[in-house]
Amino acid sequence: MPAEFIRIYPENPDERKIRKVVECLRDGGLVIYPTDTVYGLGCDIYNARAVEKVARIKGVKPQKNDFSFICYDLSHIADYARVGNAAFKLMKRVLPGPYTFILDATNNVPKLLNTNKKTVGIRVPDNNIPRMLVKQLGNPIVTTSIKDEDEVIEYSTDPELIFEKFQHQVDIIIDGGYGGNIGSTIVLATDDDFEVIREGLGDVSVIG
């Protein structure tokens, strides 16, 4: 059975449709959604089987994954990551925005993702759709970018083409308009000496 294709407007997301997607996530479903950068694939962080499915689609072992979490805001980040004062001030300044912050993981994370990784990526995208999903879900979702095999375009931007490709691998695909094709700026912030791992959409000049 193909995935459901749901149109949601980022400016004013329909709460009924958001609720439907959240129910799917709660049931262990996989969802593709827009962010402030590229389209993402994700699931509830508390559903190990769903995380395994995401890893399978990405072609990685769950233990070796480099998935990030989408959070609604900074209020629950301490549950999943250790944040120093300097990192917190920077994140407060630039989030929501097109950044992924790599932080030391708390003991909760390995249990959630069955991984021996010591760090976790945190995203608070400037897009109402994924933020409303995690707010209604009550916890973060695992997120990983939708890549394209095309040699020129790294990321898939057209929701209808994404549907064609992934309709038999996921449960819901959200059409939130055309996505971007530049990923987030990745910042290693495990200590106060920040390091830009990948320059993406987020302005690196604000990283002290």
* Integer Cα distance of 179 and 36 in angstroms: 8
Total structural domains within the chain: 1
* Integer Cα distance of 146 and 34 in angstroms: 10
- pLDDT at 67 (0 to 100): 86
pTM summary value: 0.94
- pLDDT at 1 (0 to 100): 86
- The CATH number given to whatever domain includes residue 81 is 3.90.870.10
Give residue 160's domain range.
4-206
**Which string of b and e fits 49-77 if b means at least 16 CB within 10 Å?**
ebbbbbbeebeeebeebebbbbbbeeeeb
pLDDT at 97 exceeding the cut of 70 = yes
- pLDDT at 66 (0 to 100): 77
Q: pLDDT tens across 46-92, in order?
A: 999 999 999 999 888 766 777 899 999 999 888 899 999 999 999 99
Any idea what the Cα angle at residue 159 is, between residues 155 and 163, rounded to 5°?
A: 100
DSSP state of 109: H
- pLDDT at 19 (0 to 100): 98
96 cis-preceded (ω within 30 degrees of 0)? yes
pLDDT at 196 exceeding the cut of 70 = yes
- pLDDT at 110 (0 to 100): 67
Are the CB atoms for 18 and 8 separated by under 8 Å?
Answer: yes
Q: pLDDT tens across 149-195, in order?
A: 655 566 789 999 999 999 999 999 999 999 999 999 999 999 999 99
Average pLDDT of span 122-135: 97
DSSP state of 63: G
pLDDT at 15 exceeding the cut of 80 = yes
Average pLDDT of span 104-118: 80
- The pLDDT > 90 percentage for the chain reads 79
Q: Where are the alpha helices (DSSP H) in 30-141?
A: 48-58, 85-94, 108-113, 128-137
The chain-wide mean pLDDT, for the chain, equals 92
Average pLDDT of span 25-53: 96
* Integer Cα distance of 163 and 148 in angstroms: 13
- pLDDT at 156 (0 to 100): 82
Are the CB atoms for 13 and 6 separated by under 8 Å?
Answer: no
Average pLDDT of span 17-27: 98
